[in-house]
Amino acid sequence: MTSATNNDVIPANIPTDTITDFKQLGLISPLLARLAELDYQQPTPIQAQSIPSILEGRDLIGGANTGSGKTATFALPLLQQVSQKAINAGKQGEGNFVSALVLVPTRELAKQVADSVRSYAVHFNGAIKTVAVFGGVSTNTQMLSLRGGCDILVATPGRLLDLISNNAIKLDRVKTLVLDEADRMLSLGFTEELTALMALMPTQKQTLLFSATFPEQVQTLTAELLNDPVEVQVQSADASTLVQRVFTVNKGEKTSVLAHLIKQNQWRQVLIFVNAKNNCEHLAYKLSKRDVVAEVFHGDKGQGARSRVLEAFKSGEIEVLIATDIAARGLDIEKLPVVINFDLPRSPSDYMHRIGRSGRAGEVGLALSLIDYEDYHHFKIIEKKNKIRLEREQIVGFEVDEAAIDELLAAEKPMAKPEGTGKKKAKKKLKNTPQVNTDIWSGYTESDE
Ligand code: AMP
């Protein structure tokens, strides 16, 4: 094994914004060697600002745009911490205990995070045991892999509770807890499971929360979970690589517009979000009638099918994928060029998570939202909460009815004018609504460069 000592540690008081080298973060050589192999030239801002504090054992809230390198931000220090323990103990995880626990909201994310951790750990030569557990697959295999405990466990909460009730694993010796996609983990859907899991862990532990978004209701919960946390908020320097656009379309024309956009732009990899499992199937069917072949990805599909579809989409075998929000969290699809909101997400923070599937790690990406007049008001809320403001655009050949525009503006400012006075304003606005070519990238070049 490569030596686990590190003599390159810079004093803790170095300003983190001057850190341009992983060596300065205090990481040990097996990790540095791996980062060099992966051609990670320098730490991302969230990594530079968080890793030294995590290594010091501080609790931390990390807020950064999705795709900004959050996994490595917690994975590298976790590996360093457990490696020292594993090396000292001279063996892998003891008993059926776990040392570091990473909780994530979806199965795919559990697998992805565990794969990343294992990849960063290759130079520990098998000294660190990382296991992923999640629902939809056999518990037996997971129970077997947990035999003898593990150093780093990546889990979805429901399956973890099942395994605990089968005595497959114990949380009494958790030293570090990570909540990835923390706002989701702390939301109502996970409250019961999370409370049950927290009760099984020691109160004295390091807790790290990561998310692209921290809605207000979550902020009060974090105060209870964390002890004097370091707060790191970074706006990704790469944010500008993701272009967001919004198209107003007539009610009932979204599918035609979508098929038109896909064909016209010859997109080879596009992820489309809808709000319900049935909508996935329904939209796939309607697209097939327009000669666009699409696959679906949602929670009613078996785990085997989910994994196959995701792999085929990542490899480019599937070009158009229609998904529910289970695909919105954390999934890293390399160079995914286009994400489309066919249905708007209910929660404004989900908008950020969805569009964050594209434009990752500095790649150029495009996030489109299709809105009809019924979506108009909701999209304004999404913009307000996320502090963005996008120009409404229309697509040549699919111009919005004037009457619908009237309704749309009335919906925007329901109390602004007495009846009958909205029309003039509506017409004025209509003239100013840019009508764009459907070649999305040429549109982007003209307006943004
Ligand atoms: P994440 O936000 O953790 O999902 O990471 C997004 C992508 O960025 C992943 O493909 C990582 O492999 C990659 N990545 C993470 N940190 C770095 C870095 N410092 N330099 C280059 N790529 C990175």
CATH of the domain at 297: 3.40.50.300
Res 405: pLDDT: 64
- Residue 48 sits in the same domain as residue 175: yes
Q: Is residue 444 part of a domain?
A: no
Question: Given a cut of 50, is residue 356 above it in pLDDT?
Answer: yes
Decide whether any atom of ligand 1 lies within 6 Å of the 358 Cβ: no
Of 234, 261, 279, the domain-final residue: 234
Backbone dihedral angles phi then psi of residue 339, each to the nearest 5 degrees: -120, 135
Question: Given a cut of 60, is residue 88 above it in pLDDT?
Answer: no
CA distance linking residue 428 with residue 424, whole number of Å: 6
Task: Concatenate the DSSP letters of all residues of 232-259 into one string.
Answer: EEE--TTGGGEEEEEEE--TT-HHHHHH
Q: Is residue 422 part of a domain?
A: no
Closest residue by Cα to atom 4, ligand 1, is 67
In the structure, what pLDDT confidence band is assigned to residue 284 with cuts at 50, 70 and 90?
very high
Nearest Cα neighbor of 27 from 8, 50, 46, 12 is 8
Residues 435, 399 contacting (CB under 8 angstroms): yes
- Residue 207 sits in the same domain as residue 221: yes
- Residue 211 sits in the same domain as residue 296: no
Range of the structural domain that residue 29 is part of = 6-234
- Residue 290 sits in the same domain as residue 195: no
Question: Given a cut of 60, is residue 237 above it in pLDDT?
Answer: no
Nearest Cα neighbor of 342 from 357, 354, 356, 360 is 354
Decide whether any atom of ligand 1 lies within 6 Å of the 382 Cβ: no
Question: Given a cut of 60, is residue 207 above it in pLDDT?
Answer: yes
Question: Quick one: average pLDDT of 159-173?
Answer: 95
Q: How far is the CA of 66 from the centre of ligand 1 (A)?
A: 10
3-state helix, strand, coil in the chain (%, to 5): 45, 15, 40
- Residue 221 sits in the same domain as residue 330: no
Q: Which residues contact 379 (CB under 8 A, 6 or more apart)?
A: 246, 344, 369, 371
- Residue 137 sits in the same domain as residue 212: yes
CA distance linking residue 429 with residue 433, whole number of Å: 6
CA distance linking residue 171 with residue 119, whole number of Å: 24
Q: Is residue 336 part of a domain?
A: yes
- Residue 222 sits in the same domain as residue 250: no
Q: Is residue 449 part of a domain?
A: no
Q: Report percent pLDDT > 70 for the chain.
A: 80
Question: Given a cut of 80, is residue 285 above it in pLDDT?
Answer: yes
In the structure, what pLDDT confidence band is assigned to residue 355 with cuts at 50, 70 and 90?
confident
Question: Given a cut of 70, is residue 448 above it in pLDDT?
Answer: no
Q: How far is the CA of 119 from the centre of ligand 1 (A)?
A: 12
Q: How far is the CA of 172 from the centre of ligand 1 (A)?
A: 32
CA distance linking residue 272 with residue 323, whole number of Å: 6
Structurally, the chain folds into a number of domains equal to: 2
Decide whether any atom of ligand 1 lies within 6 Å of the 73 Cβ: no
The whole-chain average pLDDT of the chain stands at 82
Nearest Cα neighbor of 351 from 361, 360, 341, 342 is 341
CA distance linking residue 4 with residue 81, whole number of Å: 11
- Residue 287 sits in the same domain as residue 347: yes
Q: Model confidence over 3-48: pLDDT tens digits?
A: 333 333 333 444 555 667 899 999 999 999 999 999 999 999 999 9
Closest residue by Cα to atom 21, ligand 1, is 40
Q: Is residue 229 part of a domain?
A: yes
- Residue 153 sits in the same domain as residue 282: no
Q: How far is the CA of 361 from the centre of ligand 1 (A)?
A: 6
Q: Could you tell which of 65, 68, 108, 120 is best to mutate to test the pocket of ligand 1, judged by most ligand atoms within 8 Å of the CB?
A: 68
Burial of residue 341 (number of CB atoms within 10 Å: 0-12, 13-18, 19+):
buried
Nearest Cα neighbor of 401 from 424, 380, 426, 378 is 426
Decide whether any atom of ligand 1 lies within 6 Å of the 44 Cβ: yes
Decide whether any atom of ligand 1 lies within 6 Å of the 361 Cβ: yes
Alpha helices by DSSP H, 317-391: 348-355, 373-386
DSSP SS3 for 225 = helix
CA angle 104, 69, 313 (to 5 degrees): 70
Decide whether any atom of ligand 1 lies within 6 Å of the 329 Cβ: no
Question: Mean pLDDT highest for which of 10-14, 282-286, 428-432?
Answer: 282-286
